[in-house]
Structure formats: C-alpha cells, structure tokens
Structure 1
Amino acid sequence: MTQHTALLQLPAPPTPDTVLRSFDTYQPKTARMVAEEFGIDEATAVRILDRLVDREELTETYGGTETPVWIRRHPNPTQMAPRTARR
C-alpha cells in the first residue's frame, strides 16, 4: 500500500446500532454532536439518525430551536410511569 492509497482509505461510518448505543435514554443529541463523536460529516450523521427514526428507536424533535435533536426512546415503554391527569 502506498502512502497515497492509505490517505484515500477512510474508515467506514458507524452502523446505526453503534450510534444508538451512544445515546442514553432521553439523551438529546444534534447531528453535529454525533458527527464529532464518530468523526463523520453531518450529512452522514443525519442519514444514520433518520434510519434510527424510521426504525422507531429515536425521535426527532426541535425543542424550540431551528436545529433538530434526536432523542432515544425508552427501551420498554410498558415500564414507564403512567401519566397522571392534570386537574
């Protein structure tokens, strides 16, 4: 392998499962945060995050800003505390 070919071989982007494991339950992350954490560009991070939304493992929200954040859902919704009615 020459020095030039070594520069062209970039590491493969992380799998969606690898990215999912980096989230704690209800932890919000932006695409930029994921991109920096895994050394990938933001567009790749968005594609991976959107795949996890399609799999219903993350939720995309805006939280009062123009920048979307992705949040990991509770792994077992049946274990969540029931909502109480507001009076």
Structure 2
Amino acid sequence: MHTSPGPSSRLTICFAIIAIIGVAIGSAAAQYPEKAIEFVIPFGAGGGADIEGRLLAKEMSKLLKVPVVAVNKPGAGGAVTYT
C-alpha cells in the first residue's frame, strides 16, 4: 500500500528547498577573491626562484584577472610555504 507524504513532510521539504536556494543565492553574490592573492616564494629576493616566482605571479594575474602579489618569505627550509 502506497501512502502520500503528510502535510508536515511537505512543509519540511518546502523549508529545505527554500534554505538551499537561499544559500545558493547568498554564495553566488560573494565576489572571489575579495583581496589580492598572495603568491609566497620560499626563498630570498634576487635568486632564480624569486625571478621564476614573480614571472608565475604575473602570468597568474593575467590568467585569473585578479591581482597576484609575489611575497618572499625565506627561512625554515621552505616550510613556510607548506602551510
């Protein structure tokens, strides 16, 4: 025997659909990224990794159409960039 969902089940389903639509609209309105992307270079300025990192940041900025800033953070054997 097949029974149809009761009024409380229908109401729950309607609220769930409205909540999902509300979340989707809210997330669609947010602009990403809100600030420049920080491209971390794990070595000091002036070396080969610095030059390559700055070239990559420049190309990423063109491709993504958002500002990408290259930042040197030397030390800890490059572990700073792992986090």
TM bucket by the smaller chain? Answer: under 0.3
Larger CA Rg, structure 1 vs 2: 2
- Give the TM-score of the pair, scaled to structure 1: 0.27
More helix by share: 2
